[in-house]
Structure formats: C-alpha cells, structure tokens
Amino acid sequence: MPFGLCNAPPTFERLMETVLRGLSSEACLVYLDDIIIVGRTFEEHLNNFRKVFQRLQKANLKLSPKKCRFFQKEVTYLRHVISAEGVKTDAGKIKAVVDWPRPETVHDLQSFLGLCTYYRRFVKNFSTIARPLHKLTEAK
C-alpha cells in the first residue's frame, strides 16, 4: 500500500488488526507496520513467531528483510525500550528531560511539563513531584 496516500496509515493499521486479531499482547504488539513478537521463553517466542508469520502469509502480506530484526533481547519501540525486564524509557529521552533549558515563561513550563508527563509512568509519585510546577501554570 503506498503510504503517501492520506488514509494509508489508518487503513493499514486496521488491516493489521484484522490479520492478527486473536493474538494477545503476550504474543505480539502492533503499531502501523511495526510488529514485535514476544515470548517469555525461546520456545514460546518461536511459537508466537510461527503464528504471526502464518497470519501474514495467509493475508499475502510481505516483509522487507532489510527492516526486520529477529530474536532481539531488547528493542526500542515507540520511544520505549522493551526487554525481559519490562518497559523503560529510552536513555536519549531521559537526556532530553535532564538537558531541557530552565523554563522562562509559563508556556516554556507547560512545554516542559508536557514532555515530563509523557514519561510519568516511569517516575514514582510523579503527580506529587510535578504538582508545584503545575500550580505555577495556573492563572492567578
């Protein structure tokens, strides 16, 4: 499908959802044309691999070998690093937060909080930590 068409990404995503329907998130994760096949053990991973490839083959979908990475212990996916230990944020994104210039205006602070809020699930007690900064953005 040519991705230059304005409706191509959502159309392709619906196709992928249809093709892989019934496979749980414990077997694979899909976002547009990215598929991550997972498994707790190598055998489970191979079994999930077969299931996904059979579905793709049945739907006559082709893969680009140049874009494939097989049997990775860690992958970066949608700005997150996924591994057997779980999901963590990409180190480059942490650096972006640490190196963010000191906000000078309310708009600057709102931008910074927007970036930080995206990663809130990785920060224990994020709302407590961010509350004083949010109060600074409130109209007086």
Tokens 């991973």 — which residue?
45
Q: Model confidence over 89-108: pLDDT tens digits? A: 888 888 888 999 999 999 99
Nearest to 117 by CA among 103, 130, 98, 106: 130
Q: DSSP class of residue 73? A: S
Lowest mean pLDDT among 5-9, 14-18, 79-83, 105-109: 5-9
State pLDDT tens for residues 61-85: 988 899 898 888 888 887 788 888 8
Asked whether the beta carbons of 48 and 37 are under 8 A apart, the reply is yes
